[in-house]
Structure 1
Amino acid sequence: MNCKYPKLFEPLKVNKVVLKNRIISAPLGSNTDKSLSGIGMIIRGTSGSVDDSRMRLTPGPYCFADLFKAAKVREEVSIIRQRGAKAEFELCHCGQFAMVEKGDYAIGPVSYTREDGTEVRAMDEAMMEDIADKFAKSALDAKEYGFDSVLLHFGHGWLPAEFLSPYFNKRTDEYGGSFENRIKFPTMIVDRVRKAVGPDYMLDMRISGDEHIEGGMQVEEVAAFIKSIEDKIDMVHISCGVEVNNNTKIYMSSTAYAPHMINVDLARKVKEQVKIPVAVVGGIMTPEEAEDILEKGYADAIVVGRQLIADPWWAQKAYEGRSEDIVPCIRCMNCYNPYQYRTEEEKRSHVGMNSVPCCSVNPRYLHEDRVPNVLPKADRKKKVVVVGGGPAGMKAAITAAERGHDVSLYEGETALGGQLICADYDSTKQDLKRLKDYLSNRLYKSGAKVHLNTRMDPQKIRELNADSIILALGAYPVTFQISGMEKNQIMTAIDAYKNLEKTGKNVVIIGGGSIGCELGVDLAKMGRKVTILELGPVLNRTLNDIMKVALKTEMDKCKNLTAITETSCKEIREHSVITEMEDGSQKEILADTVIFAAGMRARLDEANEYFGIVQDTNIIGDANRVGTVWSALEDGYYISAHL
């Protein structure tokens, strides 16, 4: 095979099904683009997939409830198969965590009342028989409507996992206690489904190799369970975590603060115990990582999730050996919308942009109706000047150049990247660094002319005779006068990243947003004693809920890091600072270095000076309003998509 990743693109036979390669798409995101990318198998997600009102993440009709709904599912099969991918149907029962209609009840291993007031009833044997039969019926429906395989979801804290896990299963009858008892009901489901679909139909399973909760399932028992049923299933996917608990969800859908390939060791341990193929999911971001896993024999297939939201053409670019052209997922969790798990009070209070699902790097995600897969060439070639080489400016220049315009980008610093430059100095920001390098690479490939170390002003721009000006000037760090600033080593957060080795033994960071907290973790890991001062009542206010938990987890690991809320810095001394609490009390904290991480301020006034040179003048990214990678790239894309 003439391919850069031969193991990744090697066929895999599972029962009677042959996958044309070892790439499996996780059940999330749109299948429209992914199905054209050359993926081996695509999993259709769970919403409304089992015929019972208590089996779903959200209340709603069974997807095979009538001919009209079933026809839509059949269309999904057609979409998935249009370039040879196999179609797999995921079956899930949410058990005690199901979102039921008001007044209804959920079911699980034991009886209790959930925090949202919903009653959970312990299942008796009649319930178990009924649920096992409904799994079987749903699997048969999926088979008859054209799916090549069924995936039984036995992980992430859903009903089968609730029986398997000693954390959830506190029963004292024959379905609880010992390992042999806890596997009885899950095994019953497998038996019924296998009997319904027949011996030659592919039956797959997803399971958490480690629930990441004290007293939960461990990989040794997971491997033993898989071994006990491997004559009935054909492949198993190893994941981890529990979905409804943010403390474990940060591992299930690994965030930017977690390492890549988070479940590979779990998959390897299961593979050592079983004979069926083992797939692994979780933080596998690049074809190089996937190939390495397969080459070492740690797994037989790779399940890719959010990376295929970031770039649905991941598989095709990998096959063509164009890994550098893959749009990197930055694992920001903005595509993950946990809204359905909130109480009514949380839903009412949860507002703001960090609650809106999106993809930070793919403007087409959830907007396929208005964002074409390939932009058409412009009717008239224009001279476009972009001022600023951060993410917004680079994206604008790339998009404009790909549309055929004559593009020049001017950046005042010696390197592209803007605030993403900090990723060069922090190993935990590997995903942001990949994005920065990707944008830079695409910019140079696009044909746009890049001028570094070139500061522009309105007069210089006027002399260029541009048809369109795009101002991506970025933002500058917020600083404010504090008594004694001249007596200490003062840095901004961006300067601190560039000079980490120059920071003192005792560091005080003013500002407890994500930049300040991330920097605090980095410095604490270097051995510095770090104190973060946050004026407001909470840390990381602008992060989504999952990222907040993930960053807090990283902070808690650092014993030499302290974060104090509702506190301001009143005075800077030679080797300390004086802080003031909300109640007016003051405290002296040792500080050799003081770092401002109190946010950024848009360069709007500066950008406004460029108006009046040409009619088509636009301000994008942080220069207009301080935001995120998502808002920067969205601005850059849309402003140039319509030039």
Structure 2
Amino acid sequence: MSVYEHIFQPLTVRRMTIPNRIIMPPMGTNFAEVDGSMNDEHITYYEQRAKGGTGLIIVENACVSFPMGSNGTTQLRIDHDKFIPRLYKLTETLHKHGTQAAIQINHAGASAVPDRIGHQPVSASNIPSKSGGAVPRPLEKEEILGIVEDYGKSAKRVVAAGFDAIEIHAGHSYLLNQFLSPIYNKRTDEFGGSYENRARFPRMVIDRIRQEVGPHFPISLRVSADEFVEGGNTLEDILHILEYLDDEVDIFNVSAAVNDTIQYQIDEMNLADGWRSYMAKAVREKFHKTTITTGNVRQPLTAEKILAEGDADLIGMGRGLIADPNWVNKVKDSQEDMLRKCISCNIGCAGHRIALNRPIRCTVNPDLFGGDAYKDRKVKKDVTVVVIGGGTTGLEAACTAAEVGCKTFLIEEKAELGGLAKEISKLPDKKRILDFPEYMEKRAEQLDNLTILTNSRATIALVESLNPDIIVNATGSKPLLPPIEGLHDRIDKENSSIYSIAKLLQYIDEFEAQHLEGKKIAVVGGGAVGLDVVEFFSKRGSDVSMIEMMPAVGAGLDHITKISMMTMLKDYEVDVRTETALTKVEDNSFQIKHQDEEEQMAFDYGFICLGMRPENKEVPELQQYFQANHVEVVNIGDSWGARKIMDGTREGRNILTTLEKIGAFEVPEKKEAIPF
């Protein structure tokens, strides 16, 4: 506990006292109802984070002006009194766990989608909020005054709903940021040009909100302290702008970036823990106000160091608390080794919400609502589960089965557990992924009824000797190698210069030790794996070419990673050949074809990254043999179909459904409804 004395110090802002320094910043979920109201599942999601010890939860942005100010497919709304009751239910629920509750209010401006709002979006000027976005129309002064009033009315509802604080969103390419930023604001009236003029609209919003909430209610302002785009606000600019906004603001939530640099807002995987705390420090030192910093903070020691050194007063942990709602309590109870850390993959959270309009999910946490409640369910009879494959999918299935009381065996052919996730983490920019298999291994070690057999092949004789009731096949996937002339004769052979991703990862240390500057590298395949390989060699000064059959690279990537990778390709001037096929493999060259033109592409090293294929050739035999003996056989994860880690994690937890199917759990008694 003494190691983290700063994390567990309370903090009082006006009349709000936060019990510790870990907060959940606002992060959209797509959990709300279509009408913008909050449902029970949504409340349960936030309650899990309150139960886990989070000091302050800032609920995701709520729309102050509908429909013009809305973003997302199912965004919370606070533009009408009818939304107060459910929000009040939320604050009641959070308060009973000792957590303080705030809510962020917002107008999307040009970030609104025309097809959703039924109108042309509005903004400071006619500049889209992102490359390729809809062209907005500039707001008239009377409309600006109307939106200021919308903010004021919404603030009144925030107080009525029982929140302890309010946050105004003035960053991330939303409306107030569109007035603050010179990349969006080209106005020549009193709302454009100088720092003071660009700050005028947000200043009016702050003053109107203070008028409604009174003198004792904390106001937080979220800003993009550096937009990381040419011509945009820098940290120095924001420090000047905040001089016009500081009065009546109690908390500065110091974020970064705009839509076109979103990888610095929803941090990409390779950014260090707490990398942007220097921005919060600059704001704190100038204005002497409470500051929040965010940015891939996963390690308790990093959070403690930021606080101890005075860089910030509060640590915002959004995706980290999606991954592990019990982060605070685990640190408090000296259970750091059992933290289920976010790996910053951005697939189930930002990827689902921004690009796919789905409700958020999580790669490492298969249940965002139930938490550990499943552990309270225990099997009513002796059940033996045999899991084949010790990757993250197999580990999740084995741990879950053991945690509900099954006698469980995990069989892994290799010497160590972790599977493809552990292998991919050998790439320097993907090292954060290692946190997940390491957590799964530690979780497995604590289960006395889970036996792990490594260096063991899951023969029918071995599996049968364990007397299974359920067999889970999770044998993963292997690189896909199509029948291209010369490929199978050369790839991964001794003294060959042509590698699969598996072979590259095996020799990654040797490659890192080499002088790679100027080496010619050819990568076939423009998906996630191919781009990882391109990134590795490009950052080491190699001359890299990429060959992809489709019209564009990066298919299937989450929104954040795709923007990051497209930026990387541009920055390192990678030679990207789309609509180009590999037709023949030779010792030091690829024969490629674009339309009717063929070409020899010479290289020092060539890499085949054409995706993965399921490794499941034993499954039919297992099914035929054991189903005749009434043993349930299921095939999950990449061995069912090569996909993402998140899919395997969810399917691993679905062992609970298989246990239900065989009648392993007690059937809960039906309770009679109590008449009102």
TM-score (norm: length of structure 2) = 0.86
Go from structure 1 to structure 2 and tell me whether the alpha carbon gap of 1:113 and 1:103 turns closer, same or farther (over 3 Å shift): farther
- Judging changes above 3 Å, is the alpha-carbon distance between structure 1 residues 387 and 340 closer, same or farther for their aligned structure 2 residues? closer
Instruction: Pick closer, same or farther for the CA change 1:601–1:289 going to 2, 3 Å.
Output: same
Q: Is the contact between residue 254 and residue 262 of structure 1 (CA under 8 Å) also seen in structure 2? A: no
1:110 equivalent in structure 2: 125
Q: Trace 1:462-473 onto structure 2 (pairs within 5 A).
A: 462-473=464-475
1:254-293 correspondence to structure 2 within 5 Å: 254-293=267-306
Judged with a 3 Å threshold, the aligned counterparts in structure 2 of structure 1 residues 51 and 568 are, in CA distance, closer, same or farther, namely closer
Cα deviation, residue 439, structure 1? 1.1
- C-alpha distance in structure 2 between counterparts of 1:248 and 1:193, whole Å: 30
Pick from 303, 314, 318 the counterpart of residue 305 of structure 1: 318
Q: Residue in 2 aligned with 1:211?
A: 227
SS of residue paired to 2:93: helix
- The one-letter code matched in structure 2 to 1:573 is E
Q: 1:323, 1:491 → 2: CA distance?
A: 38
Q: 2:505 aligns with which of 497, 501, 505?
A: 497
SS where residue 267 of structure 2 aligns?
coil
The structure-2 alpha-carbon separation of the partners of 1:277 and 1:413, relative to structure 1 and needing over 3 Å to count, comes to same
Task: From the superposition, tell whether residues 105 and 45 of structure 1 become closer, same or farther in structure 2 (CA, over 3 Å).
Answer: same
The CA deviation at 1:11 is: 0.9
Cα pair 1:47 1:57 within 8 Å, conserved: no
| Letter in structure 2 aligned against 1:556 | K
Letter in 2 for 1:122: L
Partner of 2:387: 386
What is the RMSD of the two structures over their aligned residues, measured on CA atoms? Answer: 2.6
* Correspondence list, 1:10-409, <5 A: 10-28=9-27, 29=29, 30-48=45-63, 50-57=64-71, 62-63=77-78, 65-67=80-82, 69-99=83-113, 104-111=119-126, 120-124=137-141, 126-242=142-258, 245=259, 247-336=260-349, 357-365=360-368, 368=370, 372=373, 374-409=375-410
Which deviates more, 70-79 or 214-223? 214-223
Instruction: Summarize deviations over 1:122-162 as a string: whole Å, max 9, x none.
Output: 231x3333322322222122113311111111111222211
Counterpart for residue 346 of structure 1: none
| Cα deviation, residue 545, structure 1 | 3.1
Deviation per CA, 1:500-521, whole angstroms, max 9, x where unpaired? Answer: 2555843332222111110221
Matches within 5 A, 1:492-531: 492-502=500-510, 505-531=519-545
After superposition, the C-alpha distances for 1:313-358 in whole angstroms (9 at most, x for unaligned) are 111112112222121222222334678878xxxxxxx7xxx96742
Q: Is the 8 A contact 1:397 1:640 kept in 2?
A: no
Q: Which amino acid aligns with 1:283?
A: N
Q: How far off its partner does 1:93 sit?
A: 1.5
Query: 1:428-487, CA deviations, whole angstroms, 9 ceiling, x for partnerless residues?
Result: 113211111111111122232112111222232223322221111111211134444446
Equivalent residue of 2:582, what SS?
Answer: strand
The 3-state SS of whatever aligns with 2:340 is coil
* 2:597 counterpart of 1:597: no
- Following the alignment from structure 1 to structure 2, what is the Cα–Cα distance between the partners of residues 521 and 339? 24
Tell me, in whole angstroms, the C-alpha distance in 2 between the residues paired with 1:491 and 1:58.
42
Q: Is the 8 A contact 1:469 1:618 kept in 2?
A: yes
Structure 1 residues 545 and 51 mapped into 2: Cα distance closer, same or farther (>3 Å)?
A: closer
Q: Are 1:108 and 1:122, in contact at CA under 8 Å, matched by a contact in 2?
A: yes
Aligned equivalent of 2:633? 617
Structure 2 unaligned spans of 5+: 30-44, 491-495, 660-676
Structure 2 partner of 1:537:
551
> Structure 2 CA distance, aligned partners of 1:405 and 1:633?
19
Does the CA-based 8 Å contact 2:535-2:568 persist in structure 1? yes
The share of aligned pairs that are identical, in percent, is 27
Say whether the 8 Å CA contact 2:500–2:609 is kept in structure 1.
Answer: yes
1:426 matched residue in structure 2 = 427
Partners of 1:364 and 1:373 within 8 A in 2: no
CA distance in 2, matches of 1:113, 1:425: 39
Q: Is the Cα–Cα contact under 8 Å of residues 588 and 602 in structure 2 kept in the other structure?
A: yes
Equivalences, count: 622
Conservation of the 8 A alpha-carbon contact between 1:257 and 1:554? no
Correspondence for 1:548? 562
Structure 1 counterpart of 2:193, which letter? G
- Match of 2:622, SS state, is coil
The CA deviation at 1:38 is 1.4
The answer to whether the 8 A contact 1:257-1:551 is kept is no
**1:276-316 deviation line (CA, Å, top 9, x unaligned):** 11111222223222112112211111111111111111111
Match of 1:626 in 2: 642
Query: 1:117: how far off?
Result: 6.5
For 2:662, the equivalent position in structure 1 comes to none
Note closer, same or farther for the CA distance 1:569–1:53 as it changes in structure 2 (3 Å cut). Answer: closer
Greater mean alpha carbon deviation, residues 178-187 or residues 372-381: 372-381
CA distance in 2, matches of 1:258, 1:209: 17
State the 1:558 CA deviation.
2.8
Asked if the contact 2:84–2:160 (Cα under 8 Å) also holds between the matched residues in 1, the reply is no
Specify the code of the residue in structure 2 equivalent to 1:389: G
Summarize the Cα distance change of 1:96–1:502 in structure 2 as closer, same or farther, 3 Å threshold: closer
Residues 321, 216 of structure 1: alpha-carbon distance in 2 compared, 3 angstrom cutoff: same
Residue pairs, 1:471-482, within 5 angstroms = 471-482=473-484
What residue number does 1:580 align with? 593
- SS state of the match for residue 292, structure 1? helix
Q: Shift in Å at residue 415 of structure 1?
A: 1.2
| Cα contact 1:160–1:185 (8 A) shared by 2 | yes
User: Structure 1 residues 373 and 20, CA, compared in 2 at 3 Å: closer, same or farther?
Assistant: farther
Whole-angstrom CA distance in 1 between matches of 2:134 and 2:59 = 31
Give, in whole Å, the separation in 1 of the partners of 2:353 and 2:485: 48
Cα distance in 1 between the residues matched to 2:135 and 2:592? 45
Aligned to 2:674: none
Match of 1:607 in 2: 619
| 2:140 partner amino acid | M
Tell me how far apart the structure 1 counterparts of residues 506 and 482 of structure 2 sit (CA, whole Å). Answer: 21
C-alpha separation between the residues in 2 aligned to 1:575 and 1:70? Answer: 68
